[in-house]
Amino acid sequence: MRPSPIDEIADARLGAIRERGTYRRMRVLEGLQGPRMIVDGREVLLFAGSNYLDLARHPEVVEAAERGARDWGCAAGGSRLITGNLAIHEALEEELAAFFGREAALAFNTGYMANVGVIPALIGPGDVLVSDELNHASIIDGARLARADVAVFRHGDMASFADTLARARQDVQEKTRGGAPRILVAVDGVYSMDGDVAPIAEITKLAHEAEAIVLLDDAHGTGVLGARGRGTAEAAGVLDEVDILMGTLGKSIGSFGAFVAGSAKLRDLLVNTARSFIFSCALSPAQVEAARASLRLIDREPWRRARLEANCERLRNRLAEAGISTAPSTTHIIPVILGENDRTMSVCEELLARGFYAQGIRYPSVPRGRARLRITPMATHDETGIDGLADAIIDCLQDDATPGVPRPADR
């Protein structure tokens, strides 16, 4: 049998990845989603997930998923525009729209697919996407698919944003495209590696003054921030002013999928033009019914948000007392920046050995030299677990060399 050219390509590319110390492999988790799971055969406290409110295992959510599969089957049976548009999809979207105070919503299979669908639906060649430099990859890829110009501003820097927006405004005024070229401002609500929050009120104000459209990717803010869990914009007091809200169903909501909420005309536009919606099988009934149940729980059980906030504050304070910075985080995503890849992954492995899973994150997920532990507490972690993790991190970082810890070259 001849050598496969695919294997040759893989060997060359993977060899380069191993050489620069960024080779990855998937860990294997077992057990019910919750604060304690089995990771690579070891029972540990989980501080690496996105099930922030611990709704993925809630009995009402599980029962709703079971009922969805039992009553509707295990698959939707097609794309939404052919046979997959079930009544429960429409019901979920109506409930999402009502929850966020919007005219309409549309479900997508992932947050990535939502962004690569909505951005090309709104802008194209000659238009400009104004983007924070730390925006999620799906926003970057959405702009590439749209073939729009991209103007990047410094992360969270309002002076840089104002200058970038003004230059984009001047640029589009000099162009014609059968009408006025458009500016789309896209930002994350909560930045997934640093845990800081976009200054969305100021961004929205300046963007609207420049006649730009605002897209808020609130994948990590949905369900957690704001008085009712409606996210970053609610917390900032501008929920009604952001033009397009994108959120996920697979993080705080504890199911799977994503949604875009906005005007009825936006929904109609996406149904007709968003390729990632048109050419995808619909969400399964189990996922839809689980999301609907979870959405009701978010409204009914605000204690989960309060407990999550308290757990995160306790962990930040414990680490700060030991001189360990978690800046710039103000949310449920807590980074401890260690810098070097090897050191970060060694600490990650040592924590796992001690019974705590907080994943090490390296380039290209974060900038070079900014490798970190990315810690994500849950609403249902108790104080003993939070304190135990803090003690383990403090102990591991007392000696930069972390002696006795193997170099995890395959991680």
Distance CA 386, CA 364 (A): 29
Clarify whether 251 is annotated catalytic.
yes
Give 208-238 as a 3 state SS string. HHCCCEEEEECCCCCCCCCCCCCCHHHHHCC
Clarify whether 325 is annotated catalytic.
no
- The beta strands (E) that lie in 35-139 are given as 36-39, 42-46, 104-108, 128-132
Annotated active-site residue in 192, 284, 294, 329: 192
Q: Give the CB-side neighbour count of residue 77, counting CA atoms within 13 A.
A: 9
Annotated active-site residue in 58, 89, 155, 251: 251
Tally of helices (H runs) and strands (E runs) in the chain: 14, 14
Output the six-digit token pair for 372.
């970190």
Annotated active-site residue in 58, 136, 155, 220: 220
Clarify whether 265 is annotated catalytic.
no
DSSP letter for each residue of 345-404: HHHHHHHHHTTEE-EEE-TTTS-TT-EEEEE---TT--HHHHHHHHHHHHHHHTSTT-TT
First to last CA, the chain: 32
With beta carbons less than 8 A apart as the criterion, state whether 212 and 184 touch.
yes
Output the six-digit token pair for 208.
């609207």
Q: Kindly list the catalytic residues.
A: 192, 220, 251
